[in-house]
Structure 1
Amino acid sequence: MKTKRKGKKKAKARKIVLGILIAYVAVIAVIYLGASFYYSKHFYSGSQINGINCTGKTVEEVEEIIADEIGSYTLKVREREDKTENITATQIDMKYVSDGKIKELKEEQNPFLWPMSFTNHKAYTMSATTTYDEEKLAAAIDGLDCFKEENITQPQDAKLVEGESGYEISPEVQGNALDQDKAKQLLKDAIAGGETEVSFEDADCYLKPSVLSDNEELIKQRDQINTYLQVTITYDFSDRQEVVDKDVIKTFLTTDEEGNVGLDSEKVKQYVKELGYEYDTFGLSRDFKTSLGTTVHLKGGDYGWVINKDKETAALIEAIEAGESQTREPIYLYSGKCRDTNDIGGTYVEVSIQDQRMWCYKDGQQIVDTPIVTGSVAKGYDTPAGGVWAIDAKKRDTFLKGQGYSSPVSYWMPFNGGVGIHDASWRSDFGGEIYKSSGSHGCVNTPFENAKTIYNNVEIGTPVVVY
């Protein structure tokens, strides 16, 4: 009996344990199946889409969150000088468009494997489909301050500017002007891609100066120009000077196609021509104060100074390029004896036809005052007058020959072709009105001693004033 009772108790215990197990399994099964059903409509725990926590959310709920985020979308535009501007979803009517991608992600989820989600979180990245108004986007872009003309500073090349001690390099200006087509396309692409920030600088959208301050060619130009401008050429015109300094030299500068700085020969030649206009005196009109105190106006002759324009142009260029300051006289084509403003100076011969008188001055002191006989008026041999000529030669003991005559002279000083000053031993009288009827063939007949004195005190080139 006891054995039977013990058997019944064991059977009952087994039934109880089995029942408990069945109940436990049933509960777990209910929970599992319930959760499986739940996750057939909701995202797993730990699921993320584009950083959005989707745990336990339905497709519709996730799409609503995405739509809200897109509605608050802002593209930050970074510009130079730490400026930023924004384009917002509101400005362009940007909206989320449900295209089934969220649902597809949900359907990839096996609801019966939900327990694995607690240890295997899923993070999805997807491009949300949006729509926006293209015209409003274009208007929003055009409305940015960076595209408004009044806010734009164009880039500027580094350049040479004149400073206190010479030419300097003024640095380039980067400015803030954009390659507008490139910049606008960058913004459109960023919005289409859902980007939240762009940098014009990083995307290389700014226009650039083409010449920078470290440009070797620019540095070379600066150094060459400053070498030229350090030169000072002083032209010596006795009582006057002309200075070719940096202000003059910079007007000569030119740059060739390869960027080499040089001197423009035509500009230099023009400067030398202007020197000629100012200082050439050869054959020019001039007023002359006579020994008798009157003033005569002289219009011709071959005495004076003329700068050799071609040779002096070359010499000036060479002097500047050598980089050495100097004082110089121009190269002359014709030269006189005195370079003062009054280039007749203090040593000259003066002949008055009307007074039949001649004077000679040396270093401002009168050394001869003599009567003379000039060209015969009656025979048409008038001595050339009304100008300043230069003594062309000096000869001793020669014969003056012409048609029908050959006259020996001891002192011969021609100043106008065959016309000159000489002694006339065949004459015993000088001055008065002899020249009108019995004058010379054009020369200035002079008493022997006075001709000798003049000969011994003048040089070739000494001016002879005849009036």
Structure 2
Amino acid sequence: MKKVVISGVVSLITLGLGYLGGVGYYAEKFTPNTSYGSVNIGNLTLAEAEKQINEAINKETITLTEKGKELGKITLGDLGVEVAPDEILKATYESQDPSQWVVNLFDGTEVKNVLGHNVTVDSEQVKGALDKLNITNDGREKAVDAVIEYSDDKGYFVEPGQKGTEIDYDKLSAAIVDSLEQDNGKIELESVYADPNIGEDSEQVTKTMDYINQILDTKITLQVAGDDITIPREELQKWIHFDANNDLYVDEEMVYAYVNALNDKYSTEGKDRQFESTLQGTVTVPAGILGWSIDVDTEVQQIIADIHNGQDVTRKMAFYGVGNRLGEKDDIGNTYVEIDLTNQMMYYYVDGEVLVAANIVSGKYGTETIPGANAVIEMLYDTNLVGYNPTLKVDYKVPVDYWIRFDYQAQGIHDASWQWSFGGDTYVNNGSLGCINTPLDQVAIIYANITYGTPVLVFH
């Protein structure tokens, strides 16, 4: 009985001494079954563990494949891989409890997910290793950047970039580190093809498309002849382009074509008029100086400025011409002078009411009054009419109280003290040189109430 007890005590003492010896042994070593990633560093000192990690990793082999075909193998030693276990390994070492070494025989310690943070792979050395395997970018397709395209059907749209087959050595270096992390010794080169420098979701493309849409959504509304014309989005799409610096510019020629088309449609300059006369009903008045056109040059530049501004705008177009109703569909209105050569009558309407109805004397045969839709362009008081009489072949200088010129042929309305009668067929034998001879009292009323630009309609 004593022998059994003594034998048990000896065994316990032996175990105890062995345990204490293990505690002492592991006071300066990693406990059993400790691993750093895939590298077993149990029973090693900190320095030995760091050496073991580097040696083990440098023996790791990576198999490179492309489209399912193996191209070759490289070892991490070929790549000059450096491992810096850093503070994690040291912290693991310092946190271990040597008294738990027996437990670690059955349940080890694993330091996980650390290689990715502590392994350095030089992309130039990766390239060199692949060069030795004759895996280079020579002859491989370059990646294609995303671009903004235009078509009449789709308008502006983003053509996505595409990967080529060139290898991105930085991506490959990262894939090698990831392979270590995942303990997977295989890399498909398709996964490390170079990306386009400019992707479809890049800030550059996104900002440009946002700017384009801002421009195309802009409502530029032009007011002309009573109409509001909003430039269609489809039209704007055709006009805008981008230069080599990706700066937007507007095709002036296309804007000119658009504005010229509006001018052809709306302009009254140089056009005959259908006019409702006092005595003859509807008559055709030939084109004269009265009329307006869109100021195409000014308008084109303003539209381009409106496009660049990118803000909704409603405005009158720019016009030029003769008259006091520029840009209006009806540029005669209800205040005008009507000269009926057939009936030798002149009417001055103000706001639709007759202010003056006067018999006149127009040009005689050979110096007939030229009909046309005209307007007041000059007004003089107490002046002299100076010119040349082609009938008598003499120069003349005649004083008048009132002079109202209405065209560029020196035709105008004035008093004529030398006329003994007005109206009827006086013009046949005693007609003017083209001007409208008017009784003094009547022309005085007209002069006192008329303004520059007032339409003067002369017709037969």
The residue correspondences of 1:405-444 to structure 2 (distance < 5 A) are 405-417=396-408, 418-444=410-436
CA distance in 1, matches of 2:352, 2:66: 86
- Can you give the 5+ residue segments of structure 1 that lack an aligned partner in the other structure? 1-76, 80-84, 88-153, 180-195
CA distance in 1, matches of 2:197, 2:285: 63
**What whole-Å deviation, never above 9, does each CA across 1:395-414 have from its counterpart, x for those lacking one?**
11111122343322222111
Corresponding position of 1:361: 349
Identity of aligned residues (%): 32
Q: Does 1:326 align with 2:313?
A: yes
CA distance in 2, matches of 1:222, 1:335: 45
Letter in 2 for 1:426: W
Structure 1 pair 254/170, CA: closer, same or farther in 2 (3 Å)? Answer: closer
Corresponding position of 1:346: 334
Q: Does 1:460 align with 2:457?
A: no
1:169–1:213 contact (8 Å) kept in structure 2? no
1:221–1:261 contact (8 Å) kept in structure 2? no
2:273–2:373 contact (8 Å) kept in structure 1? no
1:78–1:197 contact (8 Å) kept in structure 2? no
The residue correspondences of 1:249-328 to structure 2 (distance < 5 A) are 249-328=236-315
TM-score (normalizing by structure 2): 0.56
Letter in 2 for 1:332: F
Q: Does 1:373 align with 2:358?
A: no
2:225–2:266 contact (8 Å) kept in structure 1? no
The SS at the match of 1:250 is helix
CA distance in 2, matches of 1:406, 1:156: 81
User: Which of 201, 204, 211 in structure 2 is aligned with 1:214?
Assistant: 201
Corresponding position of 1:39: none
**What whole-Å deviation, never above 9, does each CA across 1:240-289 have from its counterpart, x for those lacking one?**
22223544332321111222222222222222212211222111223222
2:322–2:375 contact (8 Å) kept in structure 1? no
Indicate the RMSD between aligned Cα atoms, in angstroms. Answer: 3.5
Corresponding position of 1:25: none
Letter in 2 for 1:457: N
- Can you give the 5+ residue segments of structure 2 that lack an aligned partner in the other structure? 1-64, 71-142, 167-184, 389-394
The residue correspondences of 1:95-114 to structure 2 (distance < 5 A) are none
Corresponding position of 1:191: none
TM-score (normalizing by structure 1): 0.56
CA distance in 2, matches of 1:336, 1:234: 25
The SS at the match of 2:307 is helix
Corresponding position of 1:202: 191
Structure 1 pair 168/244, CA: closer, same or farther in 2 (3 Å)? Answer: closer
Rg larger for: 1
Q: CA deviation at 1:319?
A: 2.7
Q: CA deviation at 1:419?
A: 0.9
1:160–1:222 contact (8 Å) kept in structure 2? no
Structure 1 pair 372/316, CA: closer, same or farther in 2 (3 Å)? Answer: same
The SS at the match of 1:375 is coil
The SS at the match of 2:200 is coil
Q: CA deviation at 1:348?
A: 1.3
CA distance in 1, matches of 2:447, 2:313: 37
Letter in 2 for 1:440: S
Q: CA deviation at 1:356?
A: 0.5
The SS at the match of 1:388 is strand
Structure 1 pair 294/168, CA: closer, same or farther in 2 (3 Å)? Answer: closer
Structure 1 pair 358/260, CA: closer, same or farther in 2 (3 Å)? Answer: same
Letter in 1 for 2:404: M
Q: CA deviation at 1:347?
A: 1.6
The SS at the match of 1:359 is strand
Letter in 1 for 2:220: I
Q: CA deviation at 1:292?
A: 2.1
Structure 1 pair 453/423, CA: closer, same or farther in 2 (3 Å)? Answer: same
**What whole-Å deviation, never above 9, does each CA across 1:277-335 have from its counterpart, x for those lacking one?**
12221112232222224322233211110222222211222233233333322333324
Structure 1 pair 161/462, CA: closer, same or farther in 2 (3 Å)? Answer: same
The SS at the match of 2:228 is strand
Letter in 2 for 1:323: G
Letter in 2 for 1:435: Y
Corresponding position of 1:449: 441
Letter in 2 for 1:415: F
Q: Does 1:401 align with 2:389?
A: no
Structure 1 pair 324/457, CA: closer, same or farther in 2 (3 Å)? Answer: farther
Corresponding position of 1:384: 370
The residue correspondences of 1:129-278 to structure 2 (distance < 5 A) are 157=146, 159=148, 172=160, 199=188, 201-202=190-191, 204=193, 211-244=198-231, 246-278=233-265
